Amino acid sequence: MVWFSVLHITLPVPLSEKLTNFCKVIDFVQQHEFANPQELLLKKHRYPDIPVQEAALQIQARQKAKSKLPSWFAIPTICYPSLLSLEQCSSESTALFKARLLSGNTLMDLTGGMGVDTAAFSQQFEKVFYIEQNPELCEVTRYNFEQLGITNVQHISATSETWLSSFSQHVDWIYIDPARRNEAGGKVVRLQDCVPDILGLKDILFSKASHLLLKASPMLDIDVATNELKNVVKVYVVAVENEVKELLFHLMEAFNGEPEIETVNLNKSGGTISSFQFYRSLEGNSEVSFTLPQTYLYEPNVAVLKAGAFRSVASSFSINKLHSNSHLYTSESLQTDFPGRIFKIVAISKLDKKELQSFLPEGKANISVRNFPMSVEDIRKKTGIRDGGNIYLFATTDCQNRKIVLVCEKIDTIQE
């Protein structure tokens, strides 16, 4: 067999057009790693022997991968199939988190894509099946896994339905991340609108695996999805540095009980900053007290808010709500393990320019609005307060339905 070698890359030929062009631009990409891709395209006449469009795509993708996929970025010979693939793939932090949830001998990734999740799963399983219906994407991912040193993954180019119908073995886990775009390229959220349709495939999926892990849009309604899916053991609401990135549903065919919901806030390295577990059935019955602002103020992270654990989090940490619709909490004693930001209340003020400015010697503050009739922008216009500084203002409504502004100082914890 003839082999093609560039910068220690060894590949069988013939190559796909994507990898052929990539091999031509590797040196160019490294030399122009920090260049503006758009400016390179405008100057492409200067490089007649280089497919500049492919080079610009690789440079732009590497710049995006630097924070999203740091270990992939560290290898200059990684080929990025497209900006859309990079946009749609899991971040390295969420992929590593998912891998920690699972264990066993065999896993099937039915919607392989760029392979970020597959690569993480390969660290936990003896063998992983990667399924991808796009042949070129499948080839690029196989090549990238060679660069990453991953040897326990079998790459198959086929649709999920075709592969499942021909696969006669049984695996420990099936992972599925359905495409959330319609034929026109628009984003979709509902499970039945995604491809493949896991609701229609559930029976055959359970015939092939003991456990299923479904990744879904962070916009999906958790309760609606749980009712549609059935057999949900656990739901994970996953945020990275206080931004919800994905919902995960763990399914088992024999399970018919109520799923536990776990909210998780990760750092960019995939480490867990905070987590909180609760059951939906107990949420409505959790005892909550309403009080005026006390010494400390608590703002839940976005994963807790997405999960709807408004009463459970108050009950679990013995803190009080300011108002039923504010989702801000308060206490006299400090609860350092609270999953979110914690502040010390310095003062309680009206939305009055002169009064608020008296607490802001630099005229600056970080403003948040919770259950308040004005936006942050409107408050800044009314008061002249600039953004920044070490003071935090929360415009909200208290339990006596008064519109107030809490002047706070942030308390640093590891639970944010």
Residue given tokens 């006390």 in the structure block: 294
Residue type, 330: T
Cβ-Cβ contacts under 8 Å for 341 (sequence gap 6 or more) = 298, 299, 301, 410, 416
pLDDT > 80? residue 413: no
pLDDT > 80? residue 186: no
pLDDT at 114: 96
State the average pLDDT over residues 293-303.
Answer: 97
C-beta separation of 80 from 58 below 8 A: yes
The b/e string for 127-161 (b: 16+ C-beta within 10 A; e otherwise) is ebbbbbbeeebbbbbbbbbeebebeebebbbbebe
Side-chain-side CA neighbours of residue 100 (13 Å): 12
State the average pLDDT over residues 247-272.
Answer: 94
pLDDT at 15: 59
Q: Are strands 364-369 and 320-321 parallel, antiparallel or unpaired?
A: unpaired
pLDDT at 323: 96
Peptide bond into 48 cis (omega under 30): no
Question: 223: closest CA among 111, 113, 143, 308?
Answer: 308
Q: Read off the pLDDT of residues 46-90 as tens digits, 9 standing for 90 and up.
A: 998 888 999 999 999 999 999 999 999 999 999 999 988 998 899
State the average pLDDT over residues 381-407.
Answer: 97
Stretch (H or E) spanning 275:
strand 272-278
Which band of pLDDT confidence, cut at 50, 70 and 90, is reported for residue 10? very low
Q: What is the value of pTM for the model shown?
A: 0.90
C-beta separation of 113 from 134 below 8 A: no
- Contacts within 8 Å (CB) and 24+ apart, 277-282: 278/307, 278/309, 278/312, 278/313, 278/316, 280/223, 280/308, 282/312
Three-state DSSP at 399 gives coil
pLDDT at 94: 96
DSSP 364-383: EEEEEESS-SS-HHHHHHHH
Q: Read off the pLDDT of residues 30-53 as tens digits, 9 standing for 90 and up.
A: 999 889 999 999 988 899 888 899
Stretch (H or E) spanning 393:
strand 386-397
C-beta separation of 82 from 60 below 8 A: no
pLDDT > 60? residue 1: no
C-beta separation of 225 from 193 below 8 A: no
Which band of pLDDT confidence, cut at 50, 70 and 90, is reported for residue 265? very high
Alpha helices, DSSP H, located in 105-210: 116-121, 135-148, 160-166, 198-208
Peptide bond into 14 cis (omega under 30): yes
Three-state DSSP at 95 gives helix
C-beta separation of 263 from 316 below 8 A: no
> What mean pLDDT value characterizes the chain?
91
